Amino acid sequence: MTTQRKAPDAARRNETARRAILTAALDLAGEVGYARLSIEGIAARAGAGKQTIYRWWPSKGAVLFDALLMLSEGQGDQPADLPDTGDLEADLKTVLRATVDELNDPRYSEPMRALAVEILLDPALAADFAERLDEPVRELKRRRLSRAQAAGQLAADADLDVAVDLIWGPLRTRWLYREGPLTTAFADTVVETALNGLRPGASSRPTSPTPT
């Protein structure tokens, strides 16, 4: 067992209170921003006692994490996989444009930023996040790239983890640091550049599967 203290009895958990707390966390993150997001405030907004939060979550970040999970699941999107039309470049652009839209929507963006801060501050939460959200998603990405590799659309010796960072990293960095506007054009350029590389002659290479 890894539980600390007296483990609460999950069977008796009040689902209504749980949802109220997660919803309040999302709403408040969107309304007042992370800096002013407090557990006290979440409890008050949710009509819950503070102890109910402390009983079930170890930190403010963990609440935000669950809140964002609820948000994704609520959409029922649960993408079993990334799109695969056979055209890798087009598929990646589709995905990154969707991400751009999400990051430009404060309803998603603000809680995500709040969660990002908590992750930066708290290595334990970072590990939890990596395991439960980041790694599964990364696995989806790797899988899509792997299929492209099998189809000869990616270099056979490409390190797929680096590939994922190359494709998805720039967007995340620009968003976090507010380094510039997040546009679909930027997303497209990143995909193209990551695929073709920076060296000359790259863009002349075929974009679609090499004909034999």
Partner DNA sequence: TGGTAATCGAGACGGTACGTCATGTCTTCCC
Partner DNA sequence: GGGAAGACATGACGTACCGTCTCGATTACCA
Name the token pair of 96: 């990154």
72 burial via Cβ count (<10 Å: 0-12, 13-18, 19+)? middle
Q: Which of 3, 75, 200, 211 binds a copy of itself (CB under 8 A)?
A: 200
Name the token pair of 8: 């609460």
Does 205 bind a copy of itself (CB under 8 A)? Our answer is: yes
- CA max distance for the chain: 67
Q: Are 114 and 29 in contact (CB under 8 A)?
A: yes
| Partner from a copy of itself, DNA, none contacting 156, C-beta within 5 to 8 A by type | a copy of itself
Between residues 56 and 186, which has the closer beta carbon with respect to DNA? 56
Q: Are 190 and 108 in contact (CB under 8 A)?
A: no
Q: Is 172 left (phi over 0), alpha (psi -120 to 50) or beta?
A: alpha
Binding residues among 5-34 for DNA as defined by CB under 7 A:
6, 8-9, 11-14, 17-18, 20
Does 69 bind a copy of itself (CB under 8 A)? Our answer is: no
Binding segment toward a copy of itself, per CB under 8 A, in 12-20, 41-49, 95-103, 146-154: 146-154
Does 8 bind a copy of itself (CB under 8 A)? Our answer is: no
Alpha-carbon gap, residue 49 to 179, rounded angstroms: 39
Does 112 bind a copy of itself (CB under 8 A)? Our answer is: no
Alpha-carbon gap, residue 15 to 11, rounded angstroms: 10
Q: Are 25 and 67 in contact (CB under 8 A)?
A: yes
Binding region for a copy of itself (CB under 8 A): 33-35, 113, 116-117, 119-123, 126-127, 129-130, 134, 145, 152-159, 161-163, 165-166, 169-170, 172-174, 176-180, 186, 189-190, 193-203, 205, 210
Residue ranges in contact with DNA by CB under 7 A? 6, 8-9, 11-14, 17-18, 20, 36, 38-41, 43, 46-52, 54-56, 59-60
